[in-house]
Amino acid sequence: MAVKVLVFAGSARKGSFNRKLARVAAEAARKAGGDVTHLELGDFPMPLYHGDLEAEQGMPEKARDLRQLFLAHDALLIATPEYNQSIPPLLKNTLDWLSRSLGDGKGINSGLAPYKGKLAGLLAASPGPFGGVRVMPDLRKVLSSLGVTVLGAQVAIPHADGAFDEAGNLKDAHHQKIVEMLATGVVETARKLKEAPDPPRIGQDH
């Protein structure tokens, strides 16, 4: 059964280490048998979330487009930078907009459909010695609150300013291996979840 994996970085910065890491993760997920869509959040610009703006104009068109992509995929691979030991504003704003309701039964009033039932694997890269690991608990908490199951395994690449070659590949074989292990874990676990029978409803004969 095909597993559709959406891969993106929480940064749109030119030369971003996490954009490079997302490309490596996308290729690893393809190698593991995933049907991968690798996107750039910079292609989906949206204003800072504001309740009055939403009330006046609704969800931005680019947020609607990205929401459809989330709905169409089984799993996420997110490579994120660390801003002040937490989630970068681009990524947090994106997650917030996509959690809003369109009144179509696929939003905040119906179990957060863009997120509910999704599986996610987290990666981070930083020029510092901790590799962005301090952003992980906050991102894990937010995703879990939205209905995403986040794998316990995660990848943090320290000293990222020297971790990639000119082609954007990881230089260290161990780093490459742990990215591949995470991507494989996401694809295989998502496949098992898709193949698992639906649990019986309360009161259903069985």
78-106 per-position pLDDT tens digit: 999 999 999 999 999 999 999 998 866 56
3-state secondary structure of 131: coil
pTM of the model: 0.92
Distances (CA, A) of 34 to 141, 159, 187, 191: 25, 29, 6, 9
Q: What percent of the chain has pLDDT over 90?
A: 85
117-168 per-position pLDDT tens digit: 999 999 999 999 999 999 999 999 999 999 999 999 999 999 999 999 999 9
User: Is 133:89 a contact under the CB 8 Å cutoff?
Assistant: no
Q: Could you give the domains of the chain?
A: 4-195 (3.40.50.360)
3-state secondary structure of 204: coil
